[in-house]
């Protein structure tokens, strides 16, 4: 079973309008609501790949009920810890450009965290946990805390997070870390101008404990590095429509195909991320399969 942990889920409220005039009454052309949060996005794409997934994390209020209802409609299992307060609403304003307004989310207590720890302590080495996104305010060490539990239980985990949230887990040997180039520069503390420099920076993460490193490079594709392989990966052709969830889809595509040859696993990863980027919502399996043959993987 692939478990995802979303500490701060959201209802993503999409508002489309031709032009935004500050200080004036604006009327939308179209609105949509989706269950949001990086871990939830991962679960949605894992499900598209035909794998079993269960979404964990913290949820509350009427907005939390909406998320659970939407996941039920998609036949995605969930077992959230209920908290006081409402799960946040993130507003995405889409005009000629995209503007995001993200709320902070409800307060998470130590009791809530202990409930989540009790859940993950029931997992075993046949499971896989994906951590993705932000942590609740005041709980900066939460990723490392949970990663330590999983490491002690021999449960593989992967992480898609920034800065110290990612680096604090490396000693617990994550299966996959997926920084983008900007995030990797932040970890290393300097600009990375060439492919060789990005590769060397990724090797540093391997030395610190990561098993696989996938560095996304936007329109320039990605680089994949582990102890045995170094690959440059192309992006399949397409028009960027929606950047939200593309990185989460990339992680989901990789984790969903652990049983495949490494090149095939990487191709599914990039096809999944690209298919979401080329769609209004997260990708379908048909979108992903259509792009799969167009992803090229070459040794560095």
Question: Which sequence positions are flagged as catalytic?
Answer: 248
Residues 266/297, Cβ–Cβ less than 8 Å? yes
Task: Write the Ramachandran bin of 90: left for phi over 0, alpha for psi from -120 to 50, otherwise beta.
Answer: beta
What is the DSSP secondary-structure string of 267-300? HHHHHHHHHHHTSSSSPPHHHHHHHGGG--EEE-
Question: Are 17 and 31 in contact, with CB atoms under 8 Å apart?
Answer: no
Tokens of 148: 């330590």
Q: How far apart are CA 146 and CA 113, in angstroms?
A: 10
* DSSP three-state, residue 142: helix
Task: Tell me which residue has tokens 């679960």.
Answer: 43
């Amino acid at each position: 079973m692939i478990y995802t942990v979303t500490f701060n889920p959201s209802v993503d409220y999409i508002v489309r309008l031709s032009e935004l005039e500050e200080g004036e009454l604006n009327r939308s052309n179209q609105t949509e609501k989706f269950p949001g949060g990086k871990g939830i996005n991962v679960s949605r794409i894992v499900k598209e790949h035909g794998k079993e997934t269960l979404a964990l994390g913290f949820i509350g209020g009427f907005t939390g009920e909406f998320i659970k209802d939407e996941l039920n409609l998609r036949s995605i299992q969930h077992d959230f810890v209920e908290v006081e307060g409402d799960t946040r609403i993130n507003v995405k304003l889409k005009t000629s450009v995209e503007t995001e307004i993200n709320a902070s989310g409800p307060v998470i207590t130590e009791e809530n965290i202990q409930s989540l720890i009790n859940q993950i302590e029931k997992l075993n080495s046949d499971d896989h946990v994906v951590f993705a996104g932000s942590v609740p305010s005041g709980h900066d060490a939460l990723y490392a805390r949970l990663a330590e539990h999983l490491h002690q239980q021999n449960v593989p985990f992967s992480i898609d997070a920034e800065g110290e949230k990612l680096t604090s887990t490396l000693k617990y040997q994550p299966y996959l870390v997926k920084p983008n180039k900007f995030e990797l520069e932040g970890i290393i503390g300097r600009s990375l101008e060439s492919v060789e420099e990005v590769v060397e920076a990724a090797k540093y993460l391997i030395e610190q404990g990561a098993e696989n490193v996938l560095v996304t490079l936007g329109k320039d594709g990605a680089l994949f590095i582990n102890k045995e392989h170094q690959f440059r990966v192309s992006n399949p052709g397409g028009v960027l429509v929606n950047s939200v969830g593309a990185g989460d889809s990339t992680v989901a595509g990789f984790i969903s195909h652990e049983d495949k040859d490494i090149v095939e696993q990487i191709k599914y990863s990039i096809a999944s991320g690209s298919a979401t980027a080329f769609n209004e919502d997260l990708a379908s399996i048909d979108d992903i399969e259509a792009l799969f043959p167009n992803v090229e993987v070459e040794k560095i």
